[in-house]
Every structure is written in C-alpha cells, then in structure tokens.
C-alpha cells in the first residue's frame, strides 16, 4: 500500500453504528484493526434504537412557474429519459431527508455548488446549478500511459469505466470512460423520503 493510500485509510471516517452486521463485516477488511472496528460497531449499534425519533416527512413543493422553460429544455434532452425515466422535478426540504449514499467526498464539499456564492442566488442561477441541462457533467480527465498501463484521473466522482470490449479479429481491447448522470435524486420508500444522490 502506498503512502497516499495509507494516509487516506488512517483518516477515513464511517458511520459504523448505522451499518447492518453484514455491512460491518464486509467493511472490516479495510480497517487497520478489524477486531477493534467490529467491537466499536457492536457498541454503537446497540445504542442505535434509542436514537430513533418520530419521522417527519419533508416539505415538497412545485417549482415556480418561471422555471417551466428550463425544465422543458431539460426534458427535451434525450439523455434525461434514459437516466431518470419519468422522475418528477420538485423542491424538497433537505433537512428532513434520510441520507443513503454509498460514497461522500467531504474533502471537496466546501468548494462545490453555491458554497462561495455572493448573496442570495437568482432562480436562474439555482436552476443552472441544480438542474444542468446537459445532465452529464464534464469529465475533465487526465490520461497517463506507462508501458502497457493506462491510468485515468478525474475529480469528477461520477466517472465510470465500461468494458472491456474485445475485437477478436485484431485483438484490440477497448474501454469507455465517461461521466455519469449527477442530478440530485430523492426516492420515496414506505412513506420515507431518501436522498439517494446529492
């Protein structure tokens, strides 16, 4: 393990108490001390039931009428239907959502979206940030080749690698690297609203 990976491993944080037993067992292999991690998980998971309060559903409102042209343009993008199907676009109160994301990059969260905005943003600015018409963000990838190794870097956390594709006549192996759809997504499950991507 390289020095960078070791530094990241030692500074990583996880909400272990909210994992299932199976998730904790699966996560333990990356912990520096597996036994200590599992013991901490058991202690914190035992306290979890006492933390659960009554669920209060978030406030959900329609977008302002002025947003209709922007939303219409978004729906006209052929990629919208393939990425989101018939999903509704509405305003949802964030503070009452249940967060359910596999990955969250806290190191860059203070430098994205409206963190450095001066004053209250206009509706147009909000729509451009929260509902970008192109749906798929720019990948802005860096490529580095060394011998038979090709390494792709990107600060875009939606980067996806698809492949391999193999041409049997030439022996050529191909991969496709692209950004993924990244609009904020809220799902309703058994009466609770879950932040699935945000």
Same domain, 47 and 136: no
Same domain, 140 and 88: yes
**Which pLDDT does position 100 carry in this prediction?**
75
Same domain, 62 and 156: yes
Same domain, 47 and 104: no
Same domain, 188 and 92: yes
Same domain, 78 and 161: yes
Q: What share of the chain is helix, strand, coil (3-state, %, to 5)?
A: 35, 20, 40
Exposed / middle / buried, residue 10 (Cβ in 10 Å: 0-12, 13-18, 19+):
exposed
Domain carrying residue 48: 1-52
- Spatial distance between the Cα atoms of 151 and 141, rounded to a whole number of angstroms: 10
Domain boundary among 9, 28, 52: 52
pTM tops 0.75: no
Report, as ranges of residue numbers, the positions in the chain whose pLDDT lies below 70. 1-6, 8-10, 12, 101-117
Question: How many domains would you assign to the chain?
Answer: 2
**Which pLDDT does position 104 carry in this prediction?**
58
HEC string of 167-188 equals ECCCCEEEEEEECCCCCCEEEE
Same domain, 176 and 166: yes
- Please check whether residue 179 is in contact with residue 156, taking contact to mean a CB–CB distance below 8 angstroms: yes
Same domain, 153 and 111: yes
Same domain, 27 and 89: no
Same domain, 97 and 6: no
Same domain, 85 and 129: yes
Block residue for tokens 């960078």: 4
Same domain, 46 and 57: no
């Amino acid at each position: 393990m390289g020095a960078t990976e070791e530094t990241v491993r030692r500074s990583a944080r996880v909400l272990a108490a909210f994992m299932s037993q199976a998730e904790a067992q699966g996560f333990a292999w990356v912990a520096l001390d597996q036994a200590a991690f599992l013991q901490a998980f058991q202690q914190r998971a035992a306290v979890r039931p006492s933390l659960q309060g009554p669920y209060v559903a978030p406030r959900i409102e329609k977008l302002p009428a002025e947003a209709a042209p922007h939303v219409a343009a978004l729906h006209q993008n052929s990629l919208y239907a393939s990425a989101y199907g018939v999903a509704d676009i509405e305003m949802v109160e964030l503070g009452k959502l249940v967060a359910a994301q596999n990955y969250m990059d806290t190191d860059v969260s203070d430098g994205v979206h409206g963190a450095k905005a001066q004053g209250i943003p206009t509706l147009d600015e909000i729509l451009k940030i929260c509902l970008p018409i192109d749906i798929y963000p720019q990948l802005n990838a860096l490529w580095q080749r060394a011998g038979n190794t090709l390494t792709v870097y990107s600060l875009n956390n939606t980067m996806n690698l698809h492949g391999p594709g193999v041409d049997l006549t030439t022996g050529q192996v191909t991969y496709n690297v692209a950004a993924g759809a990244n609009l904020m997504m809220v799902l309703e499950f058994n009466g609770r609203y879950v932040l699935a991507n945000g």
